[in-house]
A and B are shown apart, each in its own frame.
Chain A
Amino acid sequence: MSRQASRLDAKKVNSEFLTLTYGALVTQMLRDFENVEDVNKQLERIGYNMGMRLIEDFLARTSAPRCLELRETADRVQQAFRIYLNIQPTISNWSPSSDEFSLLFDSNPLTEFVELPPDLTNLRYSAILSGCIRGALEMVQLEVQCWFVQDQLKGDNVTELRVKFVRRLEEVIPAGED
């Protein structure tokens, strides 16, 4: 996904390529671990490590300033999905205290050709996404929880990813930024 010509260029990889590669990763992990819960955990962990690196790319591309409220953060996350996956999730279901929101996906490129076999109903196939959000936000000193509430793979109408703000990591805010 590196840039060559223009600054905010369209992605250059066919999304099917991503779908297939990710599918291969998940299948391999199912073979390696056997236990579905372990796979969920590993996917989430991979996503977390990706997020920690991806955030720099996002910041370098967009020159986004620091978020001072969760609504801004939600917009940025939405923008990131547009940049990296070319999908625009809908932001909704704000909690009354504005510390929780949902991202609704009509389509998810990761699951495009996927059907879950009946014995894998516990698998959180796209767990990499929640890990990614958590890792990325942690690098900008926001601790969040992130989990799937609904999943199209499990027969729901939409895929819903819930994000809950836990706290600001005050101790690691860089000097001159706090």
Chain B
Amino acid sequence: MIIYGVYIVSKSGGLIFNLDNNVPRIEHEKTFTYPLDLVLDYDSKKVSVAFNRKDGINVGHVLVAVNGIAVNGVTIDDGRDVKATLESAENYPINLKFSRPKMTTNEKIFLASMFYPLFAIASQLSPEPRSSGIELLEADTFTLHCFQTLTGIKFIVISETGLNGIDLLLRKVYELYSDYVLKNPFYSLEMPIRCELFDNKLQELLAQVEKTGISNIDK
């Protein structure tokens, strides 16, 4: 039972809370000789693998370190350009570290606001009048569960596929939200949630769900 993340989207479609949970961070380090047998894609923001996967370094993974020095976008932290470094033979053998790309906060906000119209479109596409929006979205590696309250706040849980009873978990998150966020006098509505108590309680809940299953959530 793996929960990858919890998101809360406000009435107006903004991401007000996100929590990454238990996502295994895959990193692969390998020493390469010249010429490099990976086909790399240098775009303006990052260096990623375009073709020729090997040893767990998969297409789509991004370069995070060269010889142990972190890579920031397309430059190495010591100031050198990644592309120039990798293309000159005198720098080899070279140790490269690749990892799965990690979403930045901005990307998360962007995706959350993309989900908002998708949800609305789903309810309009419906052949029956008065349909709800997307409640469940399945892919081969994860399932997205969405619960919209009567007041319009969306609670979203990303989990592994084939789990039952996530709606119970969503309800429980709603309860935590109503207790620890809305009863916090310093929280103003519609704003990003920065409540430590809520974070802690939510993490406790997720830990419990992952250990003992959803049916054992204490109410």
B132→A177 contact, CB < 8 A: yes
B130 and A139: CB pair below 8 A? Answer: no
CA distance A106 to B201 in the complex (A): 39
Q: Any chain B CB within 8 A of the CB of A14?
A: no
Whether B119 sits at the interface, judged by CB under 8 Å, is yes
For B148, give its contact among A2, A3, A177 (CB under 8 Å).
A177
Which of A59-67, A90-98, A157-165 has 4 or more CB atoms under 8 Å from chain B? A59-67
Judge whether B175 and A61 touch: CB under 8 Å: yes
Residue among A56, A174, A176 making CB contact with B122, cutoff 8 Å:
A176
- Asked if residues A176 and B174 are in contact (CB atoms below 8 Å), the reply is no
- Residues of A near B174 (CB, < 8 A) are 56, 59-60
On whether A140 and B150 interact (CB within 8 A), knowing A174-B11, A176-B131, the answer reads: yes
| Distance of B206 from chain A, by nearest CB (Å) | 18
Interface segment, one of B24-32, B62-70, B99-107, B177-185 = B177-185
- Map CB proximity to B onto A51-62 as digits: 1 under 8 Å, 0 otherwise: 011111101110
- If A52-B189, A176-B133 touch, whether A60 touches B148 (CB-CB below 8 Å) is no
Query: Which of B130, B153, B177, B179 is the most central at the interface, judged by chain A CB atoms within 10 Å of its CB?
Result: B179
Counting chain A residues whose Cβ lies within 8 A of the other chain, the interface size class is 20 to 34
Task: Determine if B56 is an interface residue (Cβ-Cβ < 8 Å).
Answer: no
Measured CB to CB, the nearest residue on chain B to A49 is B189
Interchain CB contact under 8 A, A176 and B148: yes
A-B contact count (CB 8 A): 70
Instruction: List residues 88-143 of chain B with CB under 8 A from any CB of chain A.
Output: 119-120, 122-124, 130-133
Tell me whether A57 and B179 are in contact (CB under 8 A). Answer: yes
Is A2 a contact of B183 with CB atoms below 8 Å? yes
**Which residues of chain A in 149-178 are interfacial with respect to chain B, using CB atoms and an 8 Å cutoff?**
172, 174-178
A60 touches B219 (CB 8 A): no
Residue A7 interfacial (CB < 8 Å):
yes
Q: List, in ascending order, chain A residues with CB within 8 A of B122's CB.
A: 176
CA distance A3 to B171 in the complex (A): 14
Interface of A, secondary structure class, is loop
Residues of B within 8 A of A140 (CB): 150-151
> When the two chains form their complex, are residues B151 and A55 in contact, meaning their CB atoms are under 8 A apart?
yes
Judge whether B130 and A175 touch: CB under 8 Å.
no
Contacts A176-B120, A176-B122 hold; do A56 and B182 have CB atoms under 8 A apart? yes
Contacts of B130 in A (CB 8 A): 178
Contacts of A59 in B (CB 8 A): 149-151, 174, 178
Question: Within the complex, which residue of A2, A66, A174 is in contact with B179, where a contact is CB–CB below 8 Å?
Answer: A2
B151 nearest CB neighbor, chain A only: A139
Contacts of A7 in B (CB 8 A): 219
- B171–A63 contact, CB under 8 A? yes
Chain A residue nearest to B124 (CB atoms) is A175
Contact A172 B171 (CB under 8 A): no
List of A residues within 8 angstroms of B35 by Cβ: none
Inter-chain contact B178/A175, CB cutoff 8 Å? no
Given the known A-B contacts A52-B189, A176-B148, A177-B152, are A60 and B132 also in contact in the complex, defined by CB atoms under 8 Å?
no
Q: Which residues of B contact A (CB under 8 A)?
A: 11, 119-120, 122-124, 130-133, 148-153, 171, 174-175, 177-179, 182-183, 189, 219
Q: Which 3 A-B pairs have the closest CB atoms?
A: A176-B133, A174-B152, A175-B120
15 more CB-based (< 8 A) A-B contacts, given A54-B182, A60-B178: A3-B219, A53-B183, A53-B189, A59-B174, A63-B171, A64-B150, A65-B150, A66-B150, A174-B152, A175-B133, A176-B119, A176-B120, A176-B122, A177-B150, A178-B130
